[in-house]
Every structure is written in C-alpha cells, then in structure tokens.
A and B are shown apart, each in its own frame.
Chain A
C-alpha cells in the first residue's frame, strides 16, 4: 500500500498545483503507525503527512456532506467499499459531485488494532506491513501476525476491489488478496435461534452500549441534519438510558431507519468502543430485502429505484414475519 500512498501524494500534489482541486481529504499520520486520522490538506508541502496503510479504515465519504458545501473542489480518496457510501450520498443529494474529485484507491484489506491487542500485542513501537504478515515491534519484543487474522470484521466479507465511482484510480496490479466469508452466515445462525435465544444474544451484546453515539455519527447514511435522539424536546435522552432497555431501542430504531440505505460498510461495528456487532442488525435487513425484493446493494448505483422507496402491488405483507416463524 506504500506504492499507492506514493501515487496518492504525487497526484494530490499535481491536482493542487494545477488548481483542479483546492484541498485534499485523506489520512494524516499519527503518533503510531496504526492511528492515522482523517484530515484536510491544503498545501503541497503538507502532503508529506498524508498516509495510507492498513489502518486507514476510517471512511471519508461522510465528511463530504459538509466539505462539498464549501467553496472549491475537494479531492477525496475512496477505497472500493467507501465508494458505495459516496454513491448513496449522491443518490440522496447529500453531497455535491461537482465539488468532488474522487481518486479510487486500491485496498489490501484494513486491519483491526483491537484484534492485535486480543492476540496479545501491546507496547507497540512500530508496525511493518509485509505482504501476508504484519510485524509488530513492541516494548516486549517482536511479534509476527498473519494479515488474515487481523483483518477488520468488515473486510472479512469484502465487497471486492471495484470502485463504483471515481475520476481516476490509484491501484496496483498485484493487490493482496484473501478469501472472503459469507456475510450472511452469522445472520443465518441468529435466525436459527429460538426467539428467546436471539433476544438473549442481543440483550447481551446491546447491554454493553455506553450511548456514545459513535455508530450513528460514523454511519454514512445516518445523515439527518438533526437526529431525533438529539432533539431535547423528544422526551428521550441520546446520552443516557432511562431504563435498561433504552439502548436496545436506540439501536433497533437506527437499524430500521437505515434499512434499504445501509451499504454494509461496517463502520458502526468498527467504531463501537464496546465491540458490539451492530452490522448484524443491518445485515439482517439486507438479507431480508434481498429475499423479498430481489438482490439490492445500496450504493452500487446512483440512479434507479430502491426497494423500500418503491411500491409494487406484489410486495410482501408484514405478516411474512409470522409465516417465517418469527425470524
């Protein structure tokens, strides 16, 4: 990914110099190798701080809602999966395409620092990504990890290397490749549970929620100007639980609201400080939408109808839930 980073720096520099764009949205190096943060670069010199590595998971698409309202054109780097969310924002007229210059960047799969920690890596001084492996140099010695074992959950069922929207590409001929898993496997497992078991599963997971709202704020399709949970007159608090079930309701309501719009980008689960598998709620909706209305991938296209915004006389009735035994 270093080769791609070099391409990104050089093209961003050229595009800034020739005035095609007046700023660049990318990832900036941090204190450690694994903590680059989204940042806007306005000068060619500042591009020295632009990084792209296995920890550039934070998606940049949502920042464009605000960024493309500003004057001038912004260059943005989008990984293949990030382009789906960008497209969906285009579909909902949330971003201004004309003010955006998209460079699609190749991706070798993003890595999960939490998985490194679970595997006992701590006191990291530096990290080296070498093909199939990642070497962690730590205060307690070196440790080599297989890239496959530390991929982010969302990358385990990668949507593929194709960019759905771009002005130009920064990719390599020989990207790192890995076997992907069926993204609906866990949903199927949950569907196979009894209602009580499923309820217990979700209670166990959702009860860890601390109401930080990171899932909502990182979600590219949670783009309401004012979220209902932020409305002080709503009678509910976005920042605390009135009872032990409220956080469950929050997540269920949110999942309903993004149904048919969720691109399955996995940011909700990635950002959750309590590692709640929130993406499973969304994938259940996606699986059902596919079954009831035909295969649909939000963000694959900008135009055309989407299943839940179109009405057909043959649409399933709500009673389908009972016909399927409650799952």
Chain B
C-alpha cells in the first residue's frame, strides 16, 4: 500500500523514527555527505545522490571490536565487547547500495555465519530511495538494478511536495506502523504521478553513458584468459595503490583481524582490508601478490570473475560509480570492463 507524507513534515518523520531506534541518513559535514546519525541539528541531504562512503558501514563497519583479553597472573579472561545490538534505520539508501547488501549477505551469511553481520542485518531496517536524477558515473542498470524502484524494506520517492512511502517487507511494514500517524494513503492521482516519475527516471537511466558496458566474457570459463591478459599491466600502471576504491565501495568485503596491545590487555578487532595494500593477505612466508599489478588484478578478478563463479553468476559490483568518481588517477572498474570485456558494439 502506497502511503504519503507532505515534504514539510519530513522533520517530524525523522523525529518519530529516531524516537524508537537510531536513525542514519545522508548528512552534510562541511560539504561532504555521508550517512550519519540524525539529530535535530543535522543537515540532512537526501538530494545527494552518492554519499562518499556507502551504507555498508552499518552492517560491516570499517573497524569493530570482536573480543578483548586480559591476563592476570596465569589466568586469561575473555571480555565480550562486541556492539551490534542497537535497532536502527538507514534512510535514503539508493538502489545500488540496497542491492549491495545481497552481495554481502552471500559472503557473511553463508556457513559459517558471521554473527556480527547477521545481528546488524536483523536489527537494521533499510529505507531505500528512488533515483530521479542519476549521474554519468552511475551504471547500476548494467547489473540489473532498477534505481527508479530500488529494493529495501521500505522504498520512498520524493516527488514535488510529497514523500511517498512504500512498505515492502514485514520489517518495512512494521516501521510504517510506527509512524502511521504521519502517513496518509496515496490517492489514485498520486499513483499516476509516481508512475510518470518512474517512467521518466527509467528513461534517463537508459541514457547513461556507462549503461552500455557489457559483461559478456566475464565468466568462470574465461578465468585464465582474463587472469593472463597483458592488459592488466597497462591498466594498473597508473594505480597509486591507495585504498580509495575499496573503501568507498559498497561491495568490497575483505577484512583483517588483528590484536591490538592496549598496554593493559589485548583488543582483538576487525577492520576493512584493501587488496590494494601491500600487507593484504600477508602470510608468514611473505605476500602472494608482490606487485601493484597483481593487487589491482585481484580486485577486478574478484568482482567480475571469482565472486560470480562462486555465487551463481552474480557480479560483486552494483555500478554505484563511487570508484569512478573518487579514484585519484581516474582508473576504475568501468575502464577495466571496457578494456577486458568482449566488445558488443561493432
């Protein structure tokens, strides 16, 4: 059932949502927009298409404590200090980021289940938001994502003076129930407006310059052919080996677990890792990928060949285009797909 709310009441909606759980949404911090906790003073920027970092942090944080150890004499005590039980809402998640959670689910919810991630997935409600004005760096359509009607527990559309609220899952409907005082039922005329907007959005989405990227040829059977391609050298030579692409990516999922000596105990933590870094998968014997070319290749082979080979052909990219926008030297997955794919346009 489609519900609606006048846009000028959006502050009340945030207030109400935040009263029963933590509310995260795109917030402006000195010109940079990232998902952050809502407060009455926060500068909410739902108009921002792409937050710098994705919504991944709320389910798979950049750094999290796993467990701590304390030694007294010959005894070691184990201190549980994980923190993943707060109920929360992430509001304004775009279609690309909403889909990225499916990709992370396949990694973290398969056996053995990652209990940290699972708890956050269960505690979190996704309110996704339709895109009406995509950027040229967007190519979610290449991965079958419809940004005009993204997945999520609730999907909202902001059209004219109204916010339309579409509760989709049980969780989403329950969230709608908690703010039902503010929502009214959409009329037949509203549904017409929505339909028109969706059509218009899809038309623009179909015109995006990266929309013609072809994934033909990125398949398991081509693994060795792609791996051994001489093009990796050429593509990777500009890479400065920073972690920007991996850290702004909604689907990069590699992590490191380390012990930190706090001076009075040990804190075991998990943090995002980046295949671009020299200590990625560092083992006692050294590193299996010694050159930046090998590290660079790993990132794209993982997203375009290894992951789909292990996950029914699903690619580990959602076409959000953050890496396209943020790479310091403008090398990115779109250029890699162009260079290494089978060209369909003759």
Contact = CB atoms under 8 A, between A and B. Distances in A.
Nearest to A140: B133
Interface residues of B, number: 54
A187 interface: no
Contacts of A35: 324, 330
A197 to B, nearest CB: 15
Contacts, number: 147
Interface string B232-257: 00100110111110111000000010
Interface stretch (A9-17, A204-212, A249-257): A204-212
A218 B325 CA distance: 17
A311 interface: no
B269 interface: yes
A37 B329 contact: yes
B66 to A, nearest CB: 13
Given A37-B335, A230-B279, A240-B63, A58 B243 contact: no
B327 to A, nearest CB: 8
B209 interface: yes
A273 B63 contact: no
B207 A242 contact: no
Contacts of B282: 232
B247 to A, nearest CB: 5
A194 interface: no
Point out which of B30, B52, B324 has the most chain A C-beta atoms below 10 A from its C-beta.
Answer: B30
Report the contact-size class of chain A (Cβ under 8 Å from the partner).
35 or more
Given A37-B330, A210-B53, A230 B277 contact: yes
B163 to A, nearest CB: 22
Interface of B: 29-32, 34, 49, 52-53, 62-63, 133-136, 204, 207-210, 234, 237-238, 240-244, 246-248, 256, 258, 260-261, 267, 269, 271-274, 277-279, 282, 324-326, 328-331, 334-335, 338
Given A123-B135, A210-B248, A230-B278, 5 more contacts: A31-B334, A32-B136, A208-B52, A212-B248, A273-B247
5 contacts: A40-B234, A205-B30, A230-B278, A239-B273, A240-B272
Interface of A: 30-32, 35-40, 58, 62-63, 113, 117-118, 122-125, 138-140, 204-205, 208, 210-214, 216-218, 226, 230, 232, 235, 237-242, 267, 270-271, 273-275
